[in-house]
């Protein structure tokens, strides 16, 4: 082969190889309507997407502790009067202000964690919000983010109606899971099963967090902390003022990593086990386990998710 032709063929092969690798990449536009838990679950997602060769664009309408009822009430206030501050609960902006900046592929919704265990708090707000989002973004798939239960040593768990709360982490997970899947059936939407992944890790005899029986929060002195190995929640920590506090609800970096791994597997329909990114503070062996659990849970719930999201037969409409 003449030398110039050889180099032209070699250059073509390089271009083709590059095209194949870029062909596997995907640009996904994700918008989440939520609160601090949706921020927790997606904080590390851009890094994972980049690690997997994808481009991820994220938009959000988020405010702390926001329930489905409050999200919808804000929409109603905005529709009645676009200048009403009650409709601008997302750092002074409305849902419309935040969502109109792009055309989104996927939009997620969720209940606030304390109400996640009581389906009576979901409706009719979720259905109204769902219909509104479909009107605003008709090309987007609206999916449900299943949030997680609080850590086993939380002072209180999710509300279950009648002025009562779930008694344990397990009951909170079971009740919130049932509520989220009921919502999925009602809205015919798929589920991002983060709550199941958290429970899979927390309930594992080897990998789950266990309370340190030697630690007494009432007598602890700075900087003493309990052993919190494999915790997915923030847990005990000292403030700058040397005051001991405990957040048994929100995810720590390991929990954020697990949540983002589940979102990655769900959104890109591929295993996060191949990813190499591990955030600082998460042990390599634990990170490997979290990647495995995330993909297991996504695969296990995929069929059920597709079934509930399938269009109704014509006769049933």
Quote the pLDDT of residue 9: 38
Of 127, 233, 113, 128, which Cα lies nearest the Cα of 177? 113
**Residue 309 — pLDDT band, cuts 50, 70, 90?**
confident
Confidence (pLDDT) at 292:
98
Instruction: Report residue 13's pLDDT band, with 50, 70 and 90 as the boundaries.
Output: very low
The whole-number pLDDT of residue 72 equals: 98
Per-residue confidence at 11, pLDDT binned at 50, 70, 90?
A: very low
Cα–Cα distance list, 143 to 25, 46, 176, 242, 297 (Å): 22, 19, 16, 42, 16
Q: What's the length of the chain?
A: 317
Sheet containing 141-145: give its strands across: 55-62, 27-34, 106-109, 141-145, 191-192
pLDDT: is 273 or 20 the higher one? 273
Q: How confident is the model at residue 38 (pLDDT cuts 50, 70, 90)?
A: very high
* 3 pLDDT above the threshold of 60: no
Q: What pLDDT, on the 0 to 100 scale, is given for residue 170?
A: 98
- In degrees rounded to 5, what are phi and psi of residue 60? -155, 150
Domain 26-316 sits in CATH at 3.40.50.1110
* H or E element, residue 94: none
For 237, the 3-state DSSP assignment is strand
Averaged pLDDT for residues 61-81: 98
> What are the pLDDT digits (tens) for 149-194?
999 999 999 999 999 999 999 999 999 999 999 999 999 999 999 9
Q: Given a cut of 70, is residue 313 above it in pLDDT?
A: no
Radius of gyration of the chain (CA): 22
Residue 316 pLDDT more than 80? Answer: no
Taking a C-beta distance cutoff of 8 angstroms, is the pair 30, 40 a contact?
no
Number of DSSP helices (H) and strands (E) in the chain, helices first? 10, 9
Residues above pLDDT 70, as percent of the chain: 90
Region of residue 170 (phi > 0: left; psi between -120 and 50: alpha; otherwise: beta): alpha
Q: What is the pLDDT of residues 147-159, one digit of tens each?
A: 999 999 999 999 9
State the helix-helix crossing angle for 169-187 and 125-136, rounded to 10 degrees: 50
Banded pLDDT at 307 (limits 50, 70, 90): confident
221 φ/ψ angles, rounded to the nearest 5 degrees: -120, 145
Whether 5 has a pLDDT exceeding 80, the answer reads no
Q: Where are the alpha helices (DSSP H) in the chain?
A: 3-23, 36-42, 45-51, 68-80, 95-99, 125-136, 169-187, 194-202, 253-268, 284-309
Indicate whether 8 pLDDT > 50. Answer: no
pLDDT computed for residue 25 by the predictor: 56
- Distance of alpha carbon 268 from alpha carbon 152, whole angstroms: 31
Query: Mean pLDDT in the chain?
Result: 92
Task: In whole angstroms, give the CA distance from residue 19 to residue 178.
Answer: 44
Q: Rounded to whole angstroms, what are the CA distances from 216 to 58, 242, 244?
A: 42, 16, 11
pLDDT beyond 70 at 317 = no
In this predicted structure, what is the pLDDT of residue 211?
A: 98
Per-residue pLDDT at 29: 98
Give which of 175, 192, 171 is closest to 117, Cα–Cα. 175
Tokens encoding 211: 């309370």
pLDDT at 131 over 60: yes
């Amino acid at each position: 082969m003449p030398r110039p032709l050889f180099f032209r063929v070699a250059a073509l092969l390089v271009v083709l190889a590059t095209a194949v690798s870029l062909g596997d990449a995907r640009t996904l536009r994700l918008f989440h309507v939520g609160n601090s838990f949706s921020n927790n679950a997606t904080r590390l997602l851009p890094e994972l997407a980049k690690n997997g060769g994808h481009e991820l664009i994220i938009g959000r309408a988020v405010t702390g502790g926001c329930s489905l009822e409050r999200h919808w009430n804000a929409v109603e206030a905005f529709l009645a009067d676009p200048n009403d501050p009650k409709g601008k609960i997302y750092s002074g902006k409305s849902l419309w202000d935040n969502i109109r900046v792009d055309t989104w592929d996927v939009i997620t919704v969720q209940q606030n964690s304390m109400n996640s265990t009581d389906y009576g708090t979901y409706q009719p707000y979720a259905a109204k919000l769902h219909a509104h989002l479909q009107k605003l973004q008709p090309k987007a798939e609206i999916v449900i983010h299943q949030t997680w239960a609080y850590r086993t040593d939380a002072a209180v768990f999710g509300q279950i109606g009648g002025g009562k709360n779930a008694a344990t982490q397990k009951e909170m997970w079971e009740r919130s899971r049932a509520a989220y899947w009921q919502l999925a059936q009602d809205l015919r939407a798929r589920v991002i099963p983060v709550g199941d992944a958290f429970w899979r890790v927390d309930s594992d005899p080897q990998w789950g967090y266990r309370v340190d029986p030697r630690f007494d929060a009432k007598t602890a002195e700075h900087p003493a902390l309990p052993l919190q190995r494999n915790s997915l929640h923030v847990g005990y920590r000292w403030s700058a003022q040397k005051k001991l506090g405990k957040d048994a609800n929100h995810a720590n970096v390991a929990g954020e990593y697990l949540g983002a791994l589940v979102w990655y597997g769900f959104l890109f329909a591929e295993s996060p086990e191949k990813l190499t990114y591990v955030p600082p503070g998460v042990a390599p062996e634990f990170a490997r386990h979290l990647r495995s659990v995330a993909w297991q849970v996504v695969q296990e719930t995929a069929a059920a998710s597709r079934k509930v999201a399938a269009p109704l037969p014509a006769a049933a409409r």
